[in-house]
């Protein structure tokens, strides 16, 4: 009995003889027998083999709890999760459409059809939009062009789950009729695009990349699909994601990077990044909870924007973590990302996604920002480390200095963001409660210790108290981050560092930008972060860097 009791709250105080006693200084190892007894508290019935994998995760969780308990939390610190008492009816009534539009895009020269039509595959959204606006090509022709490329290269890349060919041709013909009649909707009018297959599209399966859901039909259009259609977009494909938004392995295969088809495209927006990098689509929509836009954008050498948390509606998207999920565009350039973000936010907040109600202003282009007046931080300790892409990253800083940007060394908050990661897994376990308890998680492709089935089982043992304490520490982190970034327009960090977890917790917008190649010829990126809701300045800085370099114009040869 003595070995079982310390585990009852998995790292918290325990009962003995009707009184509280402190946990021992050196807690007992969490064994299978302890986990078996503990699961009875929660009405669970995992096998001993499953519990053997789970117990190691529980030890890691306990270490996180101990880390967080060292942080002083006055009673005045509330969790970062905010309760909203308004029913959908009242939220809808209070939503207002922005009165002004996103502003002006930079002027661009005349765009001509290439002599070799296949070059269209790597034209930017802006360039393709000009060809459509000036009627040098029709949307139907462009749609058929990209459809052919998807059909040709998907067998190598495994980036498509469903082609929406019939719908796309219908939307393309409608776009052509509108453009011909002078009803031009803007730079996305008639442009084909794809969405990660965790977004619903009426009439098509929404598989979430996972075996238990591969025949799932959701009879609705996700908000991103609706808003891009309103901008004249042509939905051509539903793209792969690692099962339930983790990694690049889905129920059909493993999605590949077009730079080396023997390697995965990373995840979880695996198909979105791969398709754009290979010139199979001009842009696509991905999502990020903890690196799922930044990581595949790096593996595939494309530009990926993770907007501020709550900036883009997630209505109609699979939920993994309600307090961390974000949706954003993957494209060829920062300017293209800005165009897509403008369309995704043009209608204002979405009452079906309460997170969008917090956005204080509408997105506006800021490409006229004077670079020489920008103060941009760089995380000095991160750049001082030895890591594989350091030379490319330091070269990026030098380009910005030459452009006149004032670079300021900064440090990030001392709170270790890794100790808060169980916030994500706790919410994910709740989102997929039925999958776990029904045993259908056994159908999933990956079944190792770090795959979702075991993670979801492990997360069922996270006490509610520890989850709420983590959200309170997250509130401190948000305040500390705000103080650290005071007076800065943006800041820069290596794409893969503690900053990635940190900013996904604080909700900062970020953009991954190609900045070179490895010795093996694979692309690298660096990440620019902005102030909350200041994507305009962030994208202006990214565009300036891309205008001064050519990395965003490089593409793989298939």
Task: List, in order of start, the domains of the chain with CATH numbers.
Answer: 5-82+416-474 (no CATH), 101-411+489-553 (3.90.1300.10)
What confidence category does residue 26 fall into, taking pLDDT thresholds of 50, 70 and 90? Answer: low
Look at phi and psi of residue 291 and say left if phi exceeds 0, alpha if psi is from -120 to 50, else beta. Answer: left
**Which of 27, 100, 556, 79 minimizes the C-alpha distance to 362?**
100
* pLDDT tens digit sequence for 449-466: 999 999 999 999 999 999
Please give the torsion angle defined by the CA atoms of residues 102, 500, 495 and 303, in that order, rounded to the nearest 10 degrees.
-30
Provide the pLDDT for residue 3: 40
* pLDDT at residue number 9: 35
DSSP 3-state of 250? coil
Containing 330, the helix (H) or strand (E) segment is strand 326-331
Contacts of 428 (CB under 8 A, 6+ apart): 244, 320, 321, 452, 455, 456, 459
| Inter-residue contact 281 to 163 (CB < 8 Å) | no
Q: What percent of the chain has pLDDT over 70?
A: 95
Task: For residues 394-406, give the mean pLDDT.
Answer: 98
Tell me what pLDDT residue 16 has: 34
Cα 31 from Cα 162, distance rounded (Å) = 44
The span from the CA of 278 to the CA of 280, in Å, is: 6
Q: Per-residue pLDDT averaged across 289-311, rounded?
A: 98
Burial of residue 261 (number of CB atoms within 10 Å: 0-12, 13-18, 19+): middle
Confidence of residue 13 (pLDDT cuts 50, 70, 90): very low
Q: What is the pLDDT of residues 326-366, one digit of tens each?
A: 999 999 999 999 999 999 999 999 999 999 998 888 899 99
- The stretch 166-172 carries a mean pLDDT of 98
Instruction: Over range 81-109, report the average pLDDT.
Output: 84
Phi, psi for 443 (deg, rounded to 5): -80, -15
Average pLDDT score, the chain: 93
pLDDT per position as a tens digit, 113-130: 999 999 999 999 999 999
**Higher local confidence (pLDDT), 13 or 311:** 311
Name the residue with higher pLDDT: 16 or 54: 54
Q: What is the pLDDT of residue 84?
A: 80
pLDDT bracket for residue 4 (50, 70, 90): very low
* C-alpha distances out from residue 20 to 14, 16, 17, 90, 558, Å: 6, 6, 8, 45, 66
DSSP state letter for 172: H
Answer whether residue 10 shows pLDDT above 60.
Answer: no
Quote the Cα angle for 505-432-89, to 5°.
75
Global pTM reads: 0.92
Q: How confident is the model at residue 325 (pLDDT cuts 50, 70, 90)?
A: very high
Write the DSSP assignment of 452-502 as a string of letters. HHHHHHHHTTS-HHHHHHHHHHHHHHHHHHHHHTTT-SEEEEESSSHHHHH
What is the reported pLDDT for 17?
A: 35
Q: List, for residues 193-203, the tens digit of each pLDDT value.
A: 999 999 999 99
Model pLDDT, residue 83 = 75
The predicted-structure confidence for 268-285, as pLDDT tens digits, reads as follows 999 999 999 999 999 999
pLDDT band at 76 (very low <50, low <70, confident <90, very high): confident
pLDDT of 440 over the 60 cut: yes
**Structure-token match 């996270």, residue found:** 462
Would you place residue 400 in the very low, low, confident or very high pLDDT band (cuts 50, 70, 90)? very high
Q: Which residues are known to be catalytic? A: 196, 268, 292
| pLDDT confidence tier of residue 95, bands split at 50, 70 and 90 | confident
Q: What is the pLDDT of residue 410?
A: 98
* Residue keyed to tokens 């031009």: 184
Check residue 14 and give its pLDDT: 34
Q: What angle do CA 420, 421, 423 make, to 5 degrees?
A: 80
State how far the alpha carbon of 230 is from the alpha carbons of 102, 166, 202, 234, 244, in Å.
15, 18, 15, 10, 28
Give CA–CA dist 199/285, Å, rounded.
9
pLDDT band at 521 (very low <50, low <70, confident <90, very high): very high
pLDDT exceeds 90 at position 77: no
407: confidence class by pLDDT, cuts 50, 70, 90 = very high
CA nearest to 246, candidates 11, 33, 456: 456
Instruction: Say which residues have a Cβ less than 8 Å from residue 88's Cβ, sequence separation at least 6.
Output: 351, 352
Would you place residue 66 in the very low, low, confident or very high pLDDT band (cuts 50, 70, 90)?
very high
Give the model's pLDDT for residue 5: 32
Q: In this structure, are residues 356 and 313 in contact, taking their beta carbons and an 8 Å threshold?
A: yes
């Amino acid at each position: 009995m003595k070995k079982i009791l310390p585990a009852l709250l998995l790292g918290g105080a325990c009962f003995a003889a009707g009184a509280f006693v402190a946990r021992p200084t050196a807690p007992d190892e969490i064994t299978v027998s302890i986990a078996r007894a503990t699961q009875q508290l929660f009405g669970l019935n995992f096998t001993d083999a499953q519990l053997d994998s789970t117990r190691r995760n529980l030890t890691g969780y306990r270490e996180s709890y101990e880390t967080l308990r060292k942080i002083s939390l006055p009673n005045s610190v509330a969790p970062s999760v905010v309760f909203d008492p308004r029913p959908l009816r009242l939220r809808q009534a209070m939503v207002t459409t922005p009165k002004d539009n996103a502003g002006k895009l930079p002027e661009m020269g005349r765009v001509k059809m290439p002599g070799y039509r296949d070059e269209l595959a790597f034209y930017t959204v802006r360039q393709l939009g000009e060809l459509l606006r000036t009627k040098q090509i029709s949307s139907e022709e462009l749609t058929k062009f990209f459809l052919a490329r998807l059909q040709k290269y998907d067998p190598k890349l495994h980036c498509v789950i469903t082609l929406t060919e019939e719908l796309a041709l219908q939307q393309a013909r409608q776009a052509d009729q509108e453009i011909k009649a002078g009803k031009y909707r803007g730079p996305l009018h008639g442009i084909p695009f794809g969405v990660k297959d965790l977004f619903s599209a009426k009439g098509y399966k929404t598989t979430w990349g996972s075996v238990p859901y591969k025949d799932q039909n959701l009879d609705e259009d996700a908000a991103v699909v609706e808003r891009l259609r309103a901008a004249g977009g042509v939905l051509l494909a539903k793209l792969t994601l690692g099962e339930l938004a983790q990694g690049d392995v889905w129920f059909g295969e493993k999605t590949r990077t077009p730079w080396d088809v023997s390697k995965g495209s990373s995840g979880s927006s695996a198909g979105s990044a791969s398709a754009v990098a290979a010139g199979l689509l001009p842009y696509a929509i991905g999502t990020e909870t903890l690196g799922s836009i930044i990581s595949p954008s790096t593996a595939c050498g494309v530009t990926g924007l993770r907007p501020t948390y709550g900036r883009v509606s997630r209505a109609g998207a699979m939920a993994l973590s309600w307090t961390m999920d974000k949706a954003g565009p993957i494209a060829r350039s920062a300017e293209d990302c800005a165009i897509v973000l403008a369309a995704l936010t043009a209608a204002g907040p979405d009452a079906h996604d309460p997170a969008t109600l917090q956005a204080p202003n509408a997105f506006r282009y800021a490409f006229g920002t004077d670079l020489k007046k920008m103060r941009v931080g760089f995380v000095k300790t991160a750049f001082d480390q030895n890591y594989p892409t350091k030379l490319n990253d330091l070269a990026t800083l030098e380009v910005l200095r030459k452009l006149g940007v004032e670079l300021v060394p900064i440090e990030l908050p001392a709170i270790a963001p890794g100790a808060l990661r169980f916030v994500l897994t706790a919410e994910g376990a709740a989102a997929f409660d039925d999958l776990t308890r029904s045993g259908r998680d056994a159908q999933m492709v990956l079944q190792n210790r770090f795959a979702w089935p075991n993670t979801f089982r492990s997360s069922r043992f996270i006490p509610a108290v520890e989850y709420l304490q983590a959200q309170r520490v997250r509130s401190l982190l948000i305040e500390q981050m705000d103080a650290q970034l005071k007076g800065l327009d943006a800041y820069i960090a290596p794409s893969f560092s503690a900053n990635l977890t940190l900013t996904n917790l604080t909700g900062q917008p970020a953009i991954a930008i190609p900045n070179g190649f490895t010795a093996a010829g694979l692309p690298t990126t660096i990440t620019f972060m902005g102030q909350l809701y200041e994507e305009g300045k962030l994208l202006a800085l990214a565009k300036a860097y891309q205008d001064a370099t050519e990395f965003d114009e490089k593409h793989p040869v298939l």
